[in-house]
Amino acid sequence: MGLFSGKKGMILGVANDYSIAWSITEKLAAEGAELGFTHLPGEKMERRVRKAIDPIGPKLLVPCDVQKDEDIAAAFAKAKETFGTLDFVLHSIAFAPIEDLKAPFVRASRDGFKLAMDISVYSLVSVARHAAELMPNGGSIVTMTYYGGEKVVPGYNLMGVCKAALDASVKYLAYDLGPKNIRVNAVSAGPVKTLAASAVGDFDKLSGLYEAIAPMQRNVTREEVGSSGMFLLSDLARGISGEILHVDCGYHAMGSPGHAFEKALEQQAAD
Ligand code: NAP
């Protein structure tokens, strides 16, 4: 018997087998979950997602552009047909136009801001609303966030402001859905090499920052992020809601460069 035997859930945000949603999917599947997935509309997108998820025998794969409420409604209607009810939903989606993402935040365009907020933040609200209708016995909803929404991480720019709004949305949704025994949480992951991460900037530089500054002196692995996502979706986390769980080797706890600073001082003394 796995942790997820008899449990059914929808996963939004597998692009390929580098996606964080895939790392979490692998853990859920290994624990016996029955899973449905969405893909961005289009044959090419469908093929790409199908290639990633085929090994685990998905119960459902449906198109869904989260900018469209009718797509979200149709995806959850299909989930109802397939599963009847749901126990959990993973929302692992973000987008900002590349020119707005790369620019200093002060130069973010109005249209870029609206689009990034719509896809990266409002989508969680709409997904949670539709998911809740299929969770008569309670459930767990998890989204993916990043520390750049709490503090300035140079280069994260507009997406940092989106993540701040996403973090607040997690807490308000947790409040609204709590009486229905539906938990809403976020995993705040350290840098993981994915399609979306490649748009944000130099992955090796960001990962190096974690090796230098995080208490554990390394960056997180995708497998560790997968386990933590699975944990929050599971009954093991049944008392946890409105939480932003940092899975970043302790980086978020630092208020100074710590070990990196000590090493710099030692180097200075040796020179
Ligand atoms: P990813 O594999 O590129 O996943 C992003 C997903 O969002 C893709 O499946 C993408 O679909 C989907 N998406 C974008 N616009 C959409 C729309 N309008 N409708 C439906 N789906 C849409 O990258 P990832 O790094 O795993 O990102 C997943 C989440 O983790 C994001 O919220 C990201 O901010 C967060 N996160 C990532 C890191 C990291 O270092 N990678 C760290 C912390 C948090 P297509 O690819 O088909 O466009």
- 229 touches ligand 1 (CB under 6 Å): no
- 92 touches ligand 1 (CB under 6 Å): yes
- 66 touches ligand 1 (CB under 6 Å): yes
- 52 touches ligand 1 (CB under 6 Å): no
Task: Find the mean pLDDT for residues 151-179.
Answer: 97
The reply to whether the predicted model has a pTM over 0.85 is yes
Question: What does the block give as tokens for 43?
Answer: 């044959």
- Residues serving a catalytic function are 146, 156
- Residue 118 Cα to ligand 1 midpoint, Å, equals 14
- Residue 230 Cα to ligand 1 midpoint, Å, equals 17
Residue 6 has pLDDT above 80, yes or no: yes
- Residue 93 Cα to ligand 1 midpoint, Å, equals 4
pLDDT at position 271, please?
Answer: 87
Task: Give CA–CA dist 206/148, Å, rounded.
Answer: 12
Give, for ligand 1, the residue of 115, 167, 195 to mutate: max count of ligand atoms closer than 8 Å to Cβ.
Answer: 195
Residue 201 has pLDDT above 80, yes or no: no
Task: Find the mean pLDDT for residues 185-194.
Answer: 97
Task: Find the mean pLDDT for residues 47-62.
Answer: 96
pLDDT at position 120, please?
Answer: 98
pLDDT at position 1, please?
Answer: 83
The residue among 163, 40, 165, 28 whose CA lies nearest residue 88 is 28
Task: Give CA–CA dist 241/186, Å, rounded.
Answer: 9
- Residue 83 Cα to ligand 1 midpoint, Å, equals 25
Task: Find the mean pLDDT for residues 6-34.
Answer: 98
Give, for ligand 1, the residue of 95, 114, 224 to mutate: max count of ligand atoms closer than 8 Å to Cβ.
Answer: 95
Residues 236-264 pLDDT 10s: 999 999 999 999 999 999 999 888 888 88
Contacts by 23-27, CB closer than 8 A, 24 or more apart: 23/192, 23/222, 23/223, 23/225, 23/226, 23/229, 24/90, 24/92, 24/142, 24/225, 24/226, 24/229, 24/230, 24/233, 25/53, 25/56, 25/90, 25/226, 26/56, 26/226, 27/226, 27/227, 27/229, 27/230
Residue 13 has pLDDT above 90, yes or no: yes
- 199 touches ligand 1 (CB under 6 Å): no
- Any idea what DSSP says for residue 4? T
Residue 205 has pLDDT above 90, yes or no: no
pLDDT at position 204, please?
Answer: 83
**Ligand 1 nearest atom to the CA of residue 48, by list position:** 47
Residues 103-140 pLDDT 10s: 999 999 999 999 999 999 999 999 999 999 999 999 99
